[in-house]
Amino acid sequence: MASIFQFAPMIVMQQSGRQKLQRRPEPEEVTDQADHVVQYDRVMGTKLAIAYASGLEVVHRARPEGMARETIDLACGPGHYTLCLARHLGFDRVVGVDLSAPMVEVANQNASEQGLGDRVTFRVGDATHVDGMETGRLELASFTDAAHHMPDLATVTRVLKEMDRMTKPEGLVMVMDLVRLRTEALTERYVNTLGHDYVQRGLPSFFKDFHNSMYAAWTAKELRQAVPRDTSRHWCHIVPRGLPTVQFLLGLPVGRRKVFVRSGLPWKPEACPVPREMRGEWRMLRMTIALASRKLIPPGTGTGV
């Protein structure tokens, strides 16, 4: 298990100067190579399950009372986070969309194997323009670990606008993604600390994806610039202090500025999606999110066009 002693020097490295590492876009925007799809499908046994648990908790804490009907998850990959929205947050009807046909095929298999095929369906589609989804229909639109797959910030803005469009005024928009760190040396150190586990589990392509993702990720300052100007929502950007390894952008229900309206998910140990041996790291991330900086971006003040 990665410990505070491994992270402490990285916090110092992250905090000691300006951003030097330039972005390197993903070599492949769409993930459809067989070994990458097969290995990504094993995500629930990896540390990404910790990020998923954080994503679920952030949605739960921010969603209005009783909001559990219809949702979409964009760039859903093999659909494990999408399926969690039905299993752990109780959404009745969930649609997952990804541009990769092999990912969608695996995701549909996962839904039926988990007995959720009647509530969760997956289809091929583009996150920047979701065909056949009417305006203001959904209670939640989510986009996790995929903003860094977009070629530029203007495309991220297009996705955010599409999410905003499909979501009811009283609904919630949720983006979660990695954060590009300050230097190449720090990034290598972080990737090797966390990714060691992926290699040990026999997931070299997943490790390679993680490595590429950390170079393609947006810094907190960059992602914030993608918030659309033309929106009726307040947006909140949540960034852990110290060593930010995950960031969230929430498009709040129209008229609301308060970010969280309830406390965390009361997970019973047997229901928690994080593998037992990673629960210590999950508690650590949970705490850093609770203490994270929250920047409110009022309607009309975003810079994304």
- Integer angstrom CA distances of residue 118 from 94, 127, 152, 203, 212: 10, 23, 36, 31, 35
Residue 198 sits in the site that holds ligand SAM (CB under 6 A) = no
| Size, binding site for ligand SAM by CB under 6 A | 19
Residue 41 sits in the site that holds ligand SAM (CB under 6 A) = no
Residue 212 sits in the site that holds ligand SAM (CB under 6 A) = no
For helices 80-87 and 48-62, give the axis angle rounded to 10 degrees.
40
Residue 111 sits in the site that holds ligand SAM (CB under 6 A) = no
Relative to beta strand 70-74, strand 93-98 is parallel
Query: Cα 139–145–147 angle (5° rounding)?
Result: 85
Exactly one of 76, 107, 153, 203 binds ligand SAM (CB under 6 A); that residue is 76
Binding segment toward ligand SAM, per CB under 6 A, in 16-24, 93-101, 185-193, 273-281: 93-101
Exactly one of 33, 109, 128, 225 binds ligand SAM (CB under 6 A); that residue is 128
Binding segment toward ligand SAM, per CB under 6 A, in 15-23, 115-123, 141-149, 245-253: 141-149
Q: What is the DSSP track for 255-273?
A: T------S------TTT-S
Give, as ranges, the residues between 147 and 176 that touch ligand SAM (CB under 6 A).
Answer: 149
Burial 177-198 (b: 16+ CB within 10 A, else e): bbbbbbbeebbebbbeebbebb
3-state secondary structure of 170: strand
Binding mask 12-31 for ligand SAM (x = CB under 6 A): -----------------xxx
Report the residue number, 74 or 297, with the smaller CB distance to ligand SAM. 74
Q: By beta-carbon distance, which residue lies closest to ligand SAM?
A: 77
Report the residue number, 14 or 144, with the smaller CB distance to ligand SAM. 144
Query: Cα 63–66–69 angle (5° rounding)?
Result: 90
Exactly one of 13, 99, 220, 252 binds ligand SAM (CB under 6 A); that residue is 99
Query: Contact, 71 vs 133, CB < 8 A?
Result: no
Report the residue number, 79 or 253, with the smaller CB distance to ligand SAM. 79
Of the candidates 31, 139, 7, the one whose C-alpha atom is nearest the C-alpha of residue 79 is 31
Report the residue number, 30 or 254, with the smaller CB distance to ligand SAM. 30
Q: Which residues bind ligand SAM (CB under 6 A)?
A: 29-31, 43, 75-77, 81, 98-100, 103, 126-128, 144-146, 149
